[in-house]
Structure 1
Amino acid sequence: MSSSRKPTSRSLRRTAVAATSAALAGVLLAACGSGGTSGSGSTQSGPVHIKVWAWYPQFKQVVAEFNKTHKDVQVDWVQAGVGQDEYTKLKTALKAGQGAPDVVMLEFQELPTIQLSKGLLDMGKYGANADKGNYVDWAWKQASDGDHVYAIPVDGGPMAMMYRTDLFKKYHLKVPTTWAEYKEEAAKLHKADPKAYMTDFGSDETAAGWRQGLMWQAGSRPYTYSASKLPDIGVKLNDAGAKKVYDYWGDLVKNKLVDTQSYATTDFYNGLSTGKYATYIAAGWGPGYLSSVAAKTSGKWAVAPLPQWYAGDNAQGDWGGSSFSVTSQTKHPKEATEVARELFGTSQAAWKIGIDQAYLFPLVKPVLNGAYFQDKKYDFFGGQQINKVFVPAANGIGTFDWSPFQDYAYNTDTSEVGKALQGKSDWSAVNDNVQSQVTSYAAKQGFKVSK
């Protein structure tokens, strides 16, 4: 799941970036020093109560299912905010040394930042490594560092192309299998109807993960990072894959073949529901999002694999994804780890809620590859079994590292994309400008950067 499913305030993200910048250098010094100590559970009568922060839809039912099936451990759920709202509260509590929950929902890109502050418990000490084989490889590697387990994956966002079948039929468009074909069909559509676009190019901060997902598919690997190798980090935000993506989309923008509305805005929602956009390059959680904001178009959409850069390839990218971590402030590490592992885990009951009501995309293999998920038909997509497209995409995603200054990197990327959109800089310069600023920032925080 991505916090960008709901509007994210730019000011909140920038405030978070500033706060992180002010504290990161000191945190890095501490992280490079001796390891932190983990708490131990206190003896008490009755079940242990574990406080959980999370913002999953329909999560109350998931908590009720867990509490019904666990006698010795009970979950007390708090909705502490969505995305940056929650992260800001968590960072404040960790800095203060009190007030953090036992278990917290974190998106994958946030894990290195929180882990760097010694804010996360190593669940590997409490049996979490036993779950390694249950999860898709790329997600488990983002949640762990060797035998150190800092998160349990929950859901992800493998990418695919949703398209309006009625518009494709009306304008005699071919379902593209490559990005070259996608551009050709975009030109055909816009020529037939100058008010229609193949899609919207996500240029604002809520779409930063979308742009990163497309670069991921193109082979970009901007970071080489492991907490065990601090202060070393590799940063290459202007590699060939990243440049390929902005050269391509920049060309579509300049030729007015795609729109440039900010995501999570009324204009964007209207574009999806009025036929202004013929496709939506979306994540595995996108079906729920689309059926909500464009409900009146039910039955007019279908899902196809993400177009490839080279015909016949199977390159994939991810947009969004979340996990459960145990914070270093817990007094019940064993029980908190159990909660993180089993709230969703392999629970068929919890995942039925997650799939049917919350539109979560599972990363746990018994559910991901199971018949219930793969064979599920979606009325909004004309009865299509859309997960037969998304599941192979999820299983085909390659490994990817995030950085402990991801907010700053996303903010910088968004700023440079904005300049290109306004004609203040060339699209070919975006990646180089981002690389220069982010490596400079990282070095000032005390990281030893290799480019």
Structure 2
Amino acid sequence: MTAVAAFTAMTMVACGSDAAETPEKPDGPVTIKVWAWYPEFQGVVDLFNKTHTDIKIEWTNAGTGQDQYTKLQTALKAGKGAPDVAMLELQEIPTFQLTKHLVDLGKYGANDVKGDYVDWAWKQVSTGDQVYAIPVDAGPMAMMYRDDIFKKYGLTVPKTWDEYKAQAEKLKTASAGKSFITDFGANDGGFMTGLFWQAGAQPYTYDIANPSNIGVNVNSPEAKKVIEYWEGLVGAGLADTTAFHTTDFYNGLNSEKYATYIAAGWGPGYIQANAAKSAGKWKVAPLPQWVAGENKQGDWGGSSFAVTDQAKYPDVAAKVAMELFGAKNTEAWKIGIDKAFLFPTATPVLESDTFKNKEYDFFGGQKVNEVFVPAYNAIGPFSWSPFNSYNFSQLTTNLNQAIEKKTSWSAALDAAQESVKTYATQQGFKVQ
């Protein structure tokens, strides 16, 4: 199913935002069905089931990302077959909330845990006292760099994007063009959006409380500043354009092809799993800034637990959503951090000595969360649209075409803007 078809199919349905009146509980434990694709999640489920005699979680990995969303959309439209609790990436929450398929967890005590999360993260899942999901993990951004390459070519860690470009030029000359400063994976809309976010761009203005209106500003001056900067690096042969998450990309991380990797908070685990040969050669530094001395940050990725309107016992499902990776669930987070390499959103976990002082052998023993935690805390507010999959597809398609044909990246952003505006209008939104 295409993004357009999936969204159109969903908008034809308008169910109530809360499950039916909670029926009487069974004598035995209440079974709650959960869909999620977190790594090492079976251990978290087993832990929950061992510590709760009144609830039993049945976990299904229904696919990663869009694969799960397509199945979930189908089940919600059919009125049966959906889980009680579903993992949703933060950018997908408006899509499912728009069609009234998410239970308001504020009615089941979710606002009691609001204080466990920083403001920007909580606003990603709520509007006013209405709460549509519980944050789990996030992706604050930073710059991973090959310490060995930096030392080999006499590079200094850049603090601004201007300095980053200067080091890229130095690297190209010193390595005789064998090394790039980094790779710009134009196949990942989340990566590019995180860079836009840091620069202060707001591609979409959307309020769940006023769902008929949407602002579309994909080609804002802030976004164009980012795109034109990277177009300059690529055009000068300073940055590569290999697709992220591919064998060629991983080989580049393992070799001396890339001196840095602009990564998210889940990056330490990701790079450890996919570039094992480069172990011990990496370090982490703050994301370069557009203005020296500022601390502007963006996010790349993140997820939550939402309760669907098919939950028979929404109060119990809400409890599961709040507790699976809750702020006080230290044993679950031990699995999430040490084995699944998640970056937690719960402040008590983030600020714990265990997390902040965790040393990563892959990074030469560096306490990398001393970089990622301040970045997370400095992230500003950001809005997603209720058709984000389509937005990402237009951004990546138009930009990849510009890279392939060597045409203007700025024009590619203009094309994405017009495409998204047209699509939003076709779906019945008033575009502002």
Instruction: Classify the TM-score, shorter chain.
Output: over 0.9
1:289 aligned counterpart, secondary structure? helix
3-state SS of 2:294 partner: coil
Q: Which residue of structure 2 lines up, in the alignment, with residue 257 of structure 1?
A: 238
- The match for 1:238 is 219
Q: Once the two structures are superposed, what CA deviation does each residue of 1:234-276 show, in whole Å capped at 9, x if it has no partner? A: 1111112111110100111111111110111110010000111
Name which of structure 1's ranges 34-43 and 268-277 shifts more when overlaid on structure 2.
Answer: 34-43
Residue type matched to 2:343 in 1?
F
Q: Percent identity?
A: 59
* Corresponding position of 1:292: 273
Q: CA RMSD in A?
A: 1.3
Kept after mapping to 1: 8 A contact 2:33/2:84: yes
**Deviation of 1:21 (Å):** 4.2
The answer to whether the Cα contact below 8 Å between 1:232 and 1:449 also exists between their aligned partners in 2 is yes
Instruction: Give the aligned partner of residue 320 of structure 2.
Output: 339
Please list, as runs of the form range in 1=range in 2, the aligned pairs for 1:67-78 lying within 5 A after superposition: 67-78=49-60
- Structure 2 equivalent of residue 9 of structure 1: none
| Offset of residue 412 of structure 1 | 0.6
The aligned counterpart of 2:4 is: 18
Q: Indicate if the aligned counterparts of 1:176 and 1:182 stay in contact, CA closer than 8 A.
A: yes
Name structure 2 gaps, 5 residues minimum. Answer: none
Q: 1:411 aligns with which of 374, 388, 393?
A: 393
Counterpart AA for 2:55: V
Cross-structure match for 1:7: none
Match of 1:10 in 2: none
- Cα offsets for 1:219-243 (capped at 9, x unmatched): 0011111121120111111112111
**What are the equivalent positions in structure 2 for 1:356-371 lying under 5 Å apart?**
356-371=338-353
Is 1:199 equivalent to 2:182 in the alignment? yes
**Residue 187 of structure 1: CA displacement?**
1.0
1:16–1:84: 8 Å Cα contact kept in structure 2? no
Q: Which amino acid aligns with 2:30?
A: V
Q: CA deviation at 1:73?
A: 1.3
Q: Report deviation, 1:25.
A: 5.0
Question: Are residues 1:392 and 2:374 paired?
Answer: yes
The aligned residue for residue 87 of structure 2 is 105
Distance in structure 2 (CA, Å) of the matches to 1:224 and 1:234: 5
Q: C-alpha separation between the residues in 2 aligned to 1:39 and 1:273? A: 55
The 1-side partners of 2:53 and 2:23 are apart by 17
Q: 1:224 aligns with which of 205, 229, 234?
A: 205
Contact 2:18 2:102 survives alignment (8 Å): no
Asked if the contact 1:41/1:333 (under 8 Å) is kept, the reply is no
Q: Deviation of residue 433 (structure 1)?
A: 1.6
Q: CA 1:35–1:268 in 2, change beyond 3 Å: closer, same or farther?
A: closer
Matches within 5 A, 1:268-279: 268-279=249-260
Alpha-carbon distance in structure 2 between the residues aligned to 1:294 and 1:73: 40
| Alpha carbons 2:37, 2:61 under 8 Å: kept | yes
Distance of aligned partners of 1:16 and 1:121 in 2 relative to their CA distance in 1, 3 Å threshold? farther
Deviations, residues 77-134 of structure 1 (Å, cap 9, x unaligned): 1111111111111001001100000001110011111111222111111111111110
Offset at residue 36 of structure 1 (A): 5.7
Task: Quote the Cα distance in structure 2 between the aligned partners of 1:355 and 1:41.
Answer: 37
Letter in 2 for 1:17: A
**Structure 2 match to 1:374:** 356
The amino acid that maps onto 2:179 is A
Q: Aligned pair 1:212/2:198, yes or no? A: no
Query: Counterpart amino acid of 1:52?
Result: V
CA contact (8 A) 1:178 1:307 kept: yes
